[in-house]
Amino acid sequence: MHITTEPRSPVISDEEGCGAEGERCRNSQHRHGAATSETAHGGGLLDWEAERFQRATEALGLDAAVTCVLHCAARSVEVEIPLERDDGSLEVFTGYRVQHSMALGPAKGGIRYHPDVDAAEVTALARLMTWKTALADLPFGGAKGGVPCDPAKLSTRELRDLTHHYTVGMLPVIGPDTDVLAPDLGTNSAVMGWVLRAATEAGRGDLRLVTGKPPILGGTAFRAKATGVGVAHVADLAYRHLGETLEDARVAVEGFGSVGRWAAVELVDRGATIVSVGDVTGAVHAEAGLDLRGLIEWIDRGHRLAEFPGADTLDTSALTVPCDIVIPAAMEGTLDQDVATRLSARLVVEGANGPTTPDAEATLADKGVAVVPDIVANAGGVISSYYEWVQNHQRMSWPEADERDRVLQRLETTWNLIAGTSAGEWRIQAVAIAIGRVIDAMTAAGMLLPESVGAPS
């Protein structure tokens, strides 16, 4: 195991901080500078997050040294995972876990299995989790983990063993009051059940260690739907804020996993029409609206979305069809400059983490397109995870409807924090509020001294 920790000094001086824009802090994890045109994962996302963070800290007038403390990860961990494949061969994978901040409580964040996982991507996503949990006023910090692998190319036994080794390798740094795991891209409730089992076999079993579990193991029925339903709820709130209603609103969704699917179902239930859906196999479009239930059944029977017989096939992004609202719910960077140029919608609601590149966001702003940022739009998942964690702590189980109501109410409270600003400032306002809350916690705990922070209290 390789662990890198960043000590928090109670006294901050300029020598410990970062320099001007485009330079690096003394900590190599802290990357500054304008975003690049890169649309790949990892480094691109790290640059995009850093650029937006810098804009927020400049708006707050923070000292450069304080911004370094806020941005650097508290701990970064890598473990080597030897996996015996079904054919008897041995393959070694690398597992990552970055705990960005624990100022407000235990670190919180998912585990993703995807070929593009790397240290840079995990670091960027951990930072986003810090801002997301702080903005939603949850008693959590931010973390993220993952393994660069293609789960579609691993058998169930191989995935289970990979998860077991990852969990055991990370046990020294995770725990119900230290770092709480959850599902993410390429993982699900079954994987979370394996995480809990691995920890239990190692003598560290605690239901609060992981959220997004199967209900029979202490999970909640609403958790799997929470992110997508929350995205739809925020879309409803934001569209009403723009003077419109979802009744007959035309919506395009990119990404049809758990988030995209449940967002689409909830939007239809609220009166919207889904006109386009895309995933890794391609995209489909129906001018009069897709048969969403039929599409879901088609995919659940093992067919490719792009071959759905009830719609026309698109040779471009699902987000570029004429519509009112778009939901990018796939990978980071999917709403790039090319898509932004061709996008006709009035509202973007980010279902994925980091789906909109900075260049694309600037283009959308010029076109008058409002963008609800990821740390607001998709916070329903971590809010639901918090309520699962609370129920596990209390040894209680709430009715699904009660948890849904609590999640949507907290999402509405979070949305209201940015609704009063102009649409072009929603993202920076959200990040700035989150930063302010983290600063308040660090100052109250003596991790920062009041005189070192020229920030809001």
pLDDT digits (tens, 9 = 90+) for 43-62: 699 999 999 999 999 999 99
Measured between alpha carbons, how far apart are the two ends of the chain, in Å? Answer: 38
CA distance 17 to 11: 12
Angstrom distances, CA of residue 173 to CA of 1, 83, 106, 169: 11, 22, 11, 9
pLDDT at 455: 44
Q: What is the mean pLDDT of the chain?
A: 91
pLDDT band at 17 (very low <50, low <70, confident <90, very high): very low
Asked if 77 and 3 touch (Cβ cutoff 8 Å), the reply is yes
pLDDT at 29: 37
Q: Which CATH architecture has domain 1-216+426-457?
A: 3-Layer(aba) Sandwich (3.40)
Look up residue 342 and give its two tokens: 């061709």
pLDDT band at 19 (very low <50, low <70, confident <90, very high): very low
* pLDDT tops 60 at residue 396: yes
* pLDDT tops 60 at residue 388: yes
For residues 238, 71, 110 and 116, what is the CA-based torsion angle, rounded to 10 degrees? 100
Q: Rounded mean pLDDT of 365-377?
A: 98
Look up residue 1 and give its two tokens: 């195991």
- CATH for 224-377? 3.40.50.720
Q: Count the Cβ atoms, other than its own, within 10 Å of residue 314.
A: 18
The residues that are catalytic are: 144
Tracing tokens 């048969």 back to the chain, one arrives at 291
Angstrom distances, CA of residue 359 to CA of 26, 32, 73, 180, 339: 28, 16, 26, 34, 11
Residue 79, SS3? strand
User: Where are the chain's structural domains?
Assistant: 1-216+426-457, 224-377
Q: Rounded mean pLDDT of 146-158?
A: 98
Those residues with Cβ within 8 angstroms of residue 427's Cβ, 6 or more apart along the chain or in another chain: 52, 361, 371, 373
CA distance 114 to 257: 14
pLDDT band at 248 (very low <50, low <70, confident <90, very high): confident
Q: Which of 433, 432, 456 is nearest to 52 (CA)?
A: 432
Please tell me if the domain spanning 1-216+426-457 has the same topology as the one spanning 224-377. Answer: yes
CA distance 284 to 307: 8
Instruction: List pLDDT tens digits, range 176-204.
Output: 999 999 999 999 999 999 999 999 999 99
Q: Which of 32, 37, 22, 23 is nearest to 362 (CA)?
A: 37
CA distance 122 to 145: 6
Instruction: List pLDDT tens digits, range 262-280.
Output: 999 999 999 999 999 999 9
Q: What angle do CA 380, 381, 383 make, to 5 degrees?
A: 65
Predicted TM-score (pTM) of the model is: 0.90
CA distance 149 to 186: 9
CA distance 306 to 278: 8
Look up residue 239 and give its two tokens: 């569209």
Q: Rounded mean pLDDT of 21-30?
A: 34
pLDDT at 454: 58
Look up residue 162 and give its two tokens: 């990979």
Percent of the chain clearing pLDDT 70 (strictly above): 89
pLDDT at 9: 30
pLDDT band at 71 (very low <50, low <70, confident <90, very high): very high
* pLDDT tops 90 at residue 251: yes
CB neighbour burial string for 386-423, b if at least 16 within 10 angstroms, e if fewer: bbbbebbeeeebbeeeebbebbbebbeebbebbbeeeb
